[in-house]
Structure 1
Amino acid sequence: MLAPRTNPAMLSPFHVAFPVHDLELARRFYGETLGCPEGRSSPDWIDFNFYGHQIVAHLSPEEAGVAQKNDVDGKDVPVRHMGIVLPRTDWDAMADRLKAAGIRFIIEPYIRFKGEAGEQATMFFLDPSGNAIEIKAFANIEMLFAKQPQRWRTKKNGLDA
């Protein structure tokens, strides 16, 4: 099992809340499938430790699963998504874990920009309520916030990807 990143000296934890249609399914998916330790909970929400960050599944069936997509590198990427950047060895382990759990990927694990400055491994999948999750790993973590070259931009912006 992958160990969550919990050293607050190394990161500033973010907090994100998202809707789910079933808290028990969320508990199993985030707790068991993704390996996120559970924090506080109530009949209406559950906190999870998502690699040192606080994510909160809120029971809100009417809002769960709403998805708009944009074209990125010729793939339909969910506009509303959350995710985490992992070290490559952890990313590989998570990809194997998700495949073993039978998770259906929106975007199968693959490498973007292979051999280029922004090389990154990425994968997209949905939780049981239809919330999109991206997990990625950079070949060079220092490229995480690098400005993108022209070729990275999408056709939607008037440029070829």
Structure 2
Amino acid sequence: MSLAPFHLAIPVHDLPAARAFYGEVFGLEEGRSSDHWVDFDFFGHQLVIHEHPKMPYQDNAHTNAVDGHDVPVPHFGVVLGWDDWEALAKRLRERGTEFVIEPYVRFQGQVGEQATMFLLDPCGNALEFKAFKDMGQLFAK
């Protein structure tokens, strides 16, 4: 299966802080931009941050329990290769990132075993990054 890049536009109430976060913390390359939005190459996908007043979920995220953790809803992110996930976790830790859920392996020894971590951008948008040692487990039941 070949994957097509997704396009995701998210609201940010502090465009300069969000621009620095995605550009410097993650090291993402910028694409086009204006005074009110910025495109980023988000691990091969198109992420656009759009200046917008704060949304209610950016202050008080709802959570659902998953594997003993409170997972913020809504959230987005990407599935990385295992080595890339480990490198990203290291990069984020070295930059003193505050995690909502620290990097760990979820569902160990079960169907769907995966590495995961959750964090918030400066505007309260929740991100999840995950990896599978066996990508065949991505949709396994």
TM-score normalised according to structure 1 size: 0.81
Distance 1:21 1:87 in 2: 31
Give the counterpart of 2:86 among 87, 92, 104: 92
**1:124 equivalenced with 2:124 (yes/no):** no
Q: What's 1:14 paired with?
A: 6
| 2:76 corresponds to | 82
Scaled by the length of structure 2, the TM-score of the pair is 0.92
Deviations 1:93-119 (A, max 9, x none): 100100111110000001012123311
- For this pair of structures, how many residues does the alignment match? 139
Letter of the structure 2 residue corresponding to residue 116 of structure 1? Q
Aligned to 2:35: 43
Moved more, 64-73 or 122-131: 64-73
Larger Rg over CA atoms: 1
Unpaired segments ≥5 residues, structure 2: none
Query: C-alpha separation between the residues in 2 aligned to 1:34 and 1:141?
Result: 23
Matched, 1:138 2:127: no
Question: Sequence identity of aligned pairs in percent?
Answer: 58
Normalized per residue, the structure richer in strand is 2
Q: CA deviation at 1:79?
A: 1.1
Instruction: Give per-residue Cα distances to partners, 1:48-106, cap 9 Å, x unaligned.
Output: 11011111101013327142111112211111001111111111110010011111000
- 2:82 maps to 1:103: no
Alpha-carbon separation, structure 1, partners of 2:94 and 2:53: 28
Q: Indicate if the aligned counterparts of 1:118 and 1:139 stay in contact, CA closer than 8 A.
A: no
Structure 1 residue 59 corresponds to structure 2 residue 51: yes
Bigger shift: residues 107-116 or 89-98: 107-116
Could you tell me which runs of 5 or more consecutive residues in structure 1 were left unpaired when the two chains were aligned: 1-8, 148-161
Q: Within 5 Å, which residues of 2 pair with 1:21-32?
A: 21-32=13-24
Q: Distance in 1 between matches of 2:45 and 2:98?
A: 24
Q: Which amino acid aligns with 1:80?
A: P
Equivalent residue letter for 1:28: A
In the alignment, residue 63 of structure 1 is paired with which amino acid? M
Q: Is the 8 A contact 2:77 2:127 kept in 1?
A: yes
| Contact 2:67 2:107 survives alignment (8 Å) | no
